[in-house]
Amino acid sequence: MRKILITGASNGLGFALAEHFLSNGETVVINTRTPTTAELTEKKMVANKFKGKHLIIPADVKNRKQVQNLFALANEKVGQIEVIINCAGINIDKSFMQMDDESWDKVVDTHLKGTFISSQEFSRQYKGESGHIITLGAGCGIQGRLNGANFCSAKGGILALTKCMARELAPRIAVNCLTPSAVDTDEVVSRYNLNTQEGLKKVLSGIPMDRLGKREDVIQMTESILSSKFTTGSNFFVNGGELMH
């Protein structure tokens, strides 16, 4: 059974992945940004009867000292982490001309710097020969979008970082990027108004598979990435054909 750390796992895809791994009897360290979100996440976890063991640790991924403490506590409580999935993120959408430094720094630091710090600290503590880092990309990190210069730049940087880490950490640690599109998480539904007929129709018009992505689609791809023995530096799309690259 694997020991997996998921950053930003208090909700969305991170939480869905945590539930999946725990249902399989694996050990999952769930990272949330604050003690408050950690308490809320614990309440959701207690309501479920999982076979696996979970540990919830609050830490801001863009803070090096907090991430170091996260790994120290994880190693003490559950042992060496073998897989890290970087899901921590935030959105602050503004037009390019209205984008301020604070909105830029908060988003870029959480996504890009957070992935860098968490992945680096993981690599320092991992002593095995088959570790895995999964980063979280976005189609807009390749093609851009309106009102998201900070988010898109961070995601584009994550894809480049993935390739750099893959070259330097091989063969001991594989590094791959998972890039979902319109998956039916609360955040995506809210941002694109997918709970309205108009919003849903607009998004589906660009998806050849003619449906939203499901959490199960992302889980399936994640397991495929982790099961590969000869894949690193790759970007795996889960987007129903919305972006073909």
Tell me the per-residue pLDDT of 23-46, one tens digit each, with 9 for 90 and over.
Answer: 999 999 999 999 999 999 988 876
Neighbouring CB atoms inside 10 A of 76's CB total 9
Do the domain assignments include residue 124? yes
CB 235 within 8 A of CB 159: yes
202 within some domain: no
Amino acid at 135: T
Number of domains, the chain: 1
Residue 89 · residue 110 · CB < 8 Å = yes
Q: Is residue 245 part of a domain?
A: no
131: region left, alpha or beta (phi > 0 left; psi from -120 to 50 alpha): beta
Element (H, E) at 105: helix 101-108
Count other C-beta atoms under 10 Å from residue 100's C-beta. Answer: 11
Q: Give residue 63's pLDDT.
A: 98
Q: Going edge to edge, which strands form the sheet with 173-180?
A: 54-58, 27-32, 3-7, 83-86, 131-136, 173-180, 235-238
Q: pLDDT of 167-195, one tens digit each? A: 999 999 999 999 998 788 777 777 778 78
Instruction: At 156, list the tokens.
Output: 């584009």
Classify residue 243: in a domain, yes or no: no
Question: What is the span of the domain harbouring residue 121?
Answer: 3-184+214-237
**Tens-digit pLDDT profile for the chain (245 aa)?**
899 999 999 989 999 999 999 999 999 999 999 999 999 998 887 667 788 899 999 999 999 999 999 999 999 999 999 999 999 999 999 999 999 999 999 999 999 999 999 999 999 999 999 999 999 999 999 999 999 999 999 999 999 999 999 999 999 999 999 999 878 877 777 777 878 888 888 888 888 988 888 999 999 999 999 999 999 999 999 998 888 87
Residue 111 makes CB contacts below 8 A (sequence gap 6+) with 88, 89, 90, 151, 154, 155, 157, 158
Residue 201 lies in a domain: no
Whole-number Å distance between alpha carbons of 89 and 29 = 17
Strands (DSSP E) contained in the chain are 3-7, 27-32, 54-58, 83-86, 131-136, 173-180, 235-238
Alpha carbon distance, N-terminus to C-terminus of the chain: 34
Read off the tokens for 96. Answer: 């390019």
Let me know: does 178 contact 137? Beta carbons within 8 Å. yes
Q: Indicate which CATH number applies to the domain containing 174.
A: 3.40.50.720
227's tokens: 């099961």
178 inside domain: yes
Q: Collapsing DSSP states into helix, strand and coil, what is residue 104?
A: helix
d(CA 224, CA 228): 6
Whether residue 26 is contained in a domain is answered as: yes
| Structural domain includes residue 194 | no
Fill in the amino acid letter for 90.
Answer: I
